[in-house]
Amino acid sequence: QGCTQKYIVKNYFYYYLFKFSAALGEEIFYITFLPFTYWNIDHSVSRRMIIVWSIVMYIGQVSKDILKWPRPLSPPVVKLEMRTNAEYGMPSTHAMAATAISFSFFIATMNQYKYPFELGLLAAFVFSTLVCLSRLYTGMHTVLDVIGGALISAVLLALLYPAWDTIDHLLLTSPFCPLFSIAVPLVLCYNYPKLDYYSPTRGDTTTILGAAAGATVGFWLNNQYAASAYAGRSVQPGLPLISSAAVFALARFLVGILVVLLTRWVTKSAVLGALGYRYKFPVADRAARRRLEVEVPYKFVTYSSVGFTATVLVPLLHQLLGLM
């Protein structure tokens, strides 16, 4: 499973287009786009996207390890990625994430900002379609995997949309929110479906739920002790497209992402060091880091710290630097 086929790229436009599109469904995109919406667009939009994203991705990841449908055989398919090759195929969580993020963003903003409805719908469709097609081009999924992932995500969006406001209100105002936001994801991570061999799905799921848990606690804390989340916070009266707003948006993003990446590095190093001392293994031991008692706490603590930092500490830093 660690070997790749040799291949010749005949069309570099499609090659780089779909390699880039595939990256839009991975961690590097989540850790940049979702905080960007919180820092530069609207808190309510970001909250709803994170809620939908975490629920959709958890269901998608668990479904893979329950259904256990294999990925396309190689050969005849040429696989351009290897990291996720150990995972099962159905449903495509790239397709699920792309559909959930693009259409939840569209739905959450269409009544708050002035832009053509058709343009927003087209942008969401193009974004999700590119990611879905990238999974076929890279040889990681069948057509059925991709269609199944997109449809499951669409159904979950339709079910969650009527409850958006209620869920958001409870997460912001309930005194039990911090306990609920940490305890439930942890229970789900520790009781993730067991496989006969190691797969990155449990670790990826823990990353997603940890980030959502930390962000949710941050949302609650901000609403309790800072400006009310119902104030409809938007840095500029619309999407940051004009030059001065774009400069401030870029500055907020660069400062924020540096702090987030630093938080991830420091927390990961500290937690892995503590777990290594507790369970007597060197930090560089990849096999040890895949054990349940190590992988879940180190990824959950690391990414919950990232989510909390992005929603609480970074906005405070923005204020101190005069970037608000």
Query: Which residue, of 121, 145, 164, is where some domain finishes?
Result: 164
pLDDT of 243 reads: 63
**Which of 121, 141, 164 is the last residue before a domain boundary?**
164
In a domain, 233, yes or no: no
- Kind and range of the H or E run holding 14: helix 12-23
pLDDT of residue 83 exceeding 70 = no
132 and 188 fall within a common domain: no
- Domain identity same for 61 and 202: no
Structural domain containing residue 289: 174-228+242-323
Set 43, 141, 169, 318: catalytic member: 141
Question: Catalytic residue at 141?
Answer: yes
Q: Are residues 11 and 159 in the same domain?
A: yes
Q: How many CB atoms lie within 10 A of CB 282?
A: 9
Cα(31)–Cα(261) distance, integer angstroms? 9
Residue 231: is its pLDDT beyond 50?
A: no
Are 17 and 104 contained in the same domain? Answer: yes
pLDDT tops 50 at residue 228: no
**Active site (annotated) includes residue 94:** yes
Domain shared by 59 and 36, yes or no = yes
Select the highest-mean-pLDDT range: 69-73, 242-246, 273-277: 273-277
In a domain, 234, yes or no: no
The sign of the dihedral angle between the CA atoms of 32, 185, 94, 272 is positive
The three-state secondary structure class of 72 is coil
Q: Assess whether 154 and 183 both reside in one domain.
A: no
| pTM beyond cutoff 0.85 | no
- Is 75 found in the same domain as 208? no
Whether 75 and 194 map to the same domain: the answer is no
- What letter represents residue 118's amino acid? E
Cα–Cα distance for residue pair 97/26, rounded to 1 Å: 9
How many domains, in total, are found in the chain? 2
Tell whether 179 and 157 lie within a shared domain: no
The pLDDT tens digits for 289-306 are 888 888 889 999 999 999
Average pLDDT of 175-184?
A: 91
Average pLDDT (74-94) is 75
For residues 143 and 199, membership in a common domain is answered with no
Cα angle 24-29-35, degrees, rounded to a multiple of 5 = 140
Structure tokens at 129: 């379609």
Cβ contact 211:67 at 8 Å: no
Q: What angle do CA 130, 132, 135 make, to 5 degrees?
A: 110
- Using CA atoms, how far apart are residues 139 and 16, in angstroms rounded to an integer? 14
**Does residue 114 form part of some domain?**
yes
Last residue of a domain, one of 126, 145, 164: 164
Residue 44's Cβ-count burial label (10 Å; 0-12, 13-18, 19+) is buried
Residues 72 and 119 placed together within one structural domain of the fold: yes
Residue 61 lies in a domain: yes
Mean pLDDT in the chain?
83
CA angle 158/185/85 to nearest 5° reads: 80
- The pLDDT value recorded for residue 163 is 86
* CA atoms of 262 and 268, how far apart (whole Å): 10
Strand, helix or coil at 3? coil
Q: Does 212 lie in the same domain as 290?
A: yes
Does 131 map to a domain? Answer: yes
**Does the structure show a pLDDT above 50 at 286?**
yes
